[in-house]
Amino acid sequence: MNPVDSPAAHDRLPSAHSIAPSSAVKRGPLRVLHILPSLDPRMGGVAEAVVQLVRHMTPFGCTSEVVTLDAPDGPAFERVDAPVHRVGPGRGFYGLSLPLVRWLRANRARFDAFVVHGIWQFHSVAAWSGVIGSRTPLFVFPHGMLDPWFQRTYPKKHLKKRIYWALLERWVFNRAERVLFTCETELELARRPFLNDRHRLAVNGFGIDSVPDDGEVAADTFRNAFPEVRNKRVLLFLSRIHEKKGCDLLIDAFADIAAHDRDLCLVIAGPGEPALLDQLKSVAAARGIADRIVWTGMLAGEIKWSALRTAEVFVLPSHQENFGIAVVEALASRTPVIITNKVNIWREIEASGGGWVCDDTRESVADALRRWALDTTPGAREAMRDTALACYQRHFRIETAARQLVGSVNLASSARKR
């Protein structure tokens, strides 16, 4: 038996079907505090995870509040269906904030549980400090931040993390009621090098809400904003532009096949550091495909959903990706995906037929793009749209993950109050 499959290796949360909404209600609604560094959508998937969970825990008898280290006078985060307490900014890279500790201690009696989202910054240590001396359950969602890829890729940063773990972060995990993961692959990877048998690990799952239907998104919104894609076969990358996302592989792989079909167009959508963007554009120019790539910057709202629907296929050639919200958004939009086996939900997608999986190498990505663009018939590509949607509906609906989390909080809170 594989250690990860052993009953002693990690807890499995009750299945989504075993937790009825009524079981999550106890003497009034549960009250959960979500703690994270920032709700700024440019920070990536952690902020989106909180937005989605807060919204979908409510029907299961749970009210949420959010506390962040965002500045009180910063931009509004109107998508969050809960009170947001901004007690930042924190000091330095780790966001040191004694006001956050004081706020948590002063308000902990109002909540049935603290849920920490993300680690390696002071907000998680503040949460641990905030529950010291109380019976408040503490849950930790690492959101992929224990993946050993970071250890291999950034050895100097990893040494700092080992020191930070020994001094502070381990106390957070030791106190945690459960450490929660979005999928089985994330849990497997997280076992090394920090976790051990004393930590209670569980797959909670994750997902997204259903996406706007065709009537809510004008078909030509994206094409009108970017006329370059009109009458083109759009291959879409939509994510934060970072070295771990494999954009360099994608550009080189696209260059390898672009000459075979002049209608192919690569769209790279997302925010990124100017230096990296300049570097990637230089690669495209050197490969002679600068005029075949459309750089849109960050897309949100209707134009994002329009881009996902416009795309023939969504491509994310990441070297490391915990969950990939944008991948699931593509599936929910009936857009097939091509991802690497370093995106942790690759097993579910491959098994369902909602997309193709390749290695995170230029050759493997190019082969996948070539098969899609040149060897797959229009009828087969259209059929995969229905398969992509079915994959989302089976594996990645946020309601299931929200119900799991509410059930865990309810059980932990009830046990602490006996």
Query: For position 302, what pLDDT does the model report?
Result: 93
The 10 Å CB-count burial string (b at 16+, else e) for 367-392 is bbbeebbeebeeeeeeebbebbbebb
Residue entry with tokens 């663009």:
373
Mean pLDDT over 134-152 rounds to: 91
Query: For position 418, what pLDDT does the model report?
Result: 60
Report cis status (omega within 30 of 0) of the bond before 89: yes
Mean pLDDT over 247-273 rounds to: 96
Which pTM value belongs to this model?
A: 0.80
Strand partners, 357: 339
Domains 3-207+398-416 and 221-395 equal at CATH topology level: yes
pLDDT at 22 over 80: no
Phi, then psi, of 85 in degrees rounded to 5: -105, 115
Q: Give the model confidence (pLDDT) of 64-88 as tens digits.
A: 999 999 999 887 778 898 999 999 9
Indicate the pLDDT class of residue 41, thresholds 50, 70 and 90.
Answer: confident
Query: For position 114, what pLDDT does the model report?
Result: 98
Domains in the chain: boundaries: 3-207+398-416, 221-395
Specify the range with the lowest mean pLDDT, choosing from 7-21, 84-98, 224-238, 298-312.
7-21
Query: For position 4, what pLDDT does the model report?
Result: 36
Which class is 221-395 in CATH? alpha beta
Residue 116 vs residue 80, higher pLDDT:
116
Query: For position 172, what pLDDT does the model report?
Result: 96
Q: Give the model confidence (pLDDT) of 363-374 as tens digits.
A: 999 999 999 999
Indicate the pLDDT class of residue 416, thresholds 50, 70 and 90.
Answer: confident
Calpha distance 221→302 (Å, rounded): 8
Average pLDDT, the chain: 89
Query: For position 291, what pLDDT does the model report?
Result: 96
Report cis status (omega within 30 of 0) of the bond before 99: no
pLDDT at 16 over 80: no
Q: Give the model confidence (pLDDT) of 188-219 as tens digits.
A: 998 877 888 889 999 999 998 888 887 778 77
Query: For position 417, what pLDDT does the model report?
Result: 66
Helix/strand/coil for 136 = coil
* DSSP-derived secondary structure letter, 397: B
Distant-in-sequence, close-in-space partners of 256: CB < 8 Å, separation ≥ 6 = 362, 366, 369, 370
Residue entry with tokens 């167009």:
265
Among residues 311, 300, 355, the alpha carbon closest in space to that of 333 is found at 311
Calpha distance 57→61 (Å, rounded): 7
Two structure tokens written together for 216: 């809510």
Torsion of CA 57, 385, 300, 117, to 10 degrees: 40
Indicate the pLDDT class of residue 13, thresholds 50, 70 and 90.
Answer: low
In the CATH hierarchy, which fold is given to the domain comprising 3-207+398-416?
Answer: Rossmann fold (3.40.50)
pLDDT at 393 over 50: yes
Indicate the pLDDT class of residue 414, thresholds 50, 70 and 90.
Answer: confident
Burial class (CB in 10 A: 0-12, 13-18, 19+), 122: buried
Torsion of CA 157, 162, 165, 166, to 10 degrees: -150
pLDDT at 104 over 70: yes
Q: Give the model confidence (pLDDT) of 144-179 as tens digits.
A: 899 888 888 888 888 898 999 999 999 999 999 999
Indicate the pLDDT class of residue 10, thresholds 50, 70 and 90.
Answer: low
Specify the range with the lowest mean pLDDT, choosing from 33-42, 205-214, 276-285, 393-402.
205-214
Q: Is the dihedral of CA 66, 67, 69, 73 positive or negative?
A: positive
pLDDT at 400 over 60: yes
Over its C-alpha atoms, the chain yields an Rg (Å, rounded) of 22
Query: For position 251, what pLDDT does the model report?
Result: 98
Indicate the pLDDT class of residue 27, thresholds 50, 70 and 90.
Answer: low
Mean pLDDT over 247-271 rounds to: 96
Helix/strand/coil for 47 = helix
Mean pLDDT over 287-294 rounds to: 97
- The edge-to-edge listing of strands for the beta sheet with 113-117 is 11-12, 201-203, 178-181, 138-141, 113-117, 30-35, 62-68, 84-86
Strand partners, 315: 338
Helix/strand/coil for 67 = strand
Specify the range with the lowest mean pLDDT, choosing from 206-210, 220-224, 248-252, 273-277.
206-210
